């Protein structure tokens, strides 16, 4: 083997080592991104669950309040429902 062939083999070996290190670094980076994405997904899911719980609690409070008002004033509730139904029916009939 002459000098240029040995140099070429050494450079090829060094290049192969660099490629192997790059592959290992890319695998590590992919794992880090996967973990980061999983953490973000868990945080988003927790936020959504908290929002759903809050909205459910508010909905129950409004429903209970409306139920109490209807029980306290049943004739007013029927009159209001009738008036709203008439207005919606009138608007629906005018669309033709």
- Predicted pLDDT at 79: 92
The pLDDT of residue 3: 63
Output the pTM of the full model: 0.45
Q: What is the pLDDT of residues 6-25, one digit of tens each?
A: 777 778 888 888 988 999 98
pLDDT tens-digit series, residues 25-58:
888 888 887 777 777 888 888 888 899 999 999 9
> 52-83: per-residue pLDDT in tens?
999 999 999 999 988 898 899 999 989 999 99
* More confidently predicted of 42 and 85: 85
Q: Residue 74: is it exposed, middle or buried by C-beta count within 10 angstroms (0-12/13-18/19+)?
A: exposed
CA distances for 11 relative to 2, 17, 24, 50, angstroms: 15, 10, 20, 58
């Amino acid at each position: 083997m002459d000098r240029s062939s040995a140099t070429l083999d050494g450079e090829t070996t060094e290049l192969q080592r660099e490629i192997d290190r790059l592959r290992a670094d890319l695998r590590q980076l992919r794992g880090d991104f996967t973990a980061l994405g999983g953490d973000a997904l868990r945080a988003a899911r927790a936020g959504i669950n908290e929002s759903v719980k809050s909205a459910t609690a508010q909905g129950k409070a409004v429903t209970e309040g409306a139920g109490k008002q209807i029980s306290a004033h049943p004739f007013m509730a029927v009159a209001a429902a009738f008036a709203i139904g008439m207005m919606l029916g009138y608007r629906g009939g005018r669309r033709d």
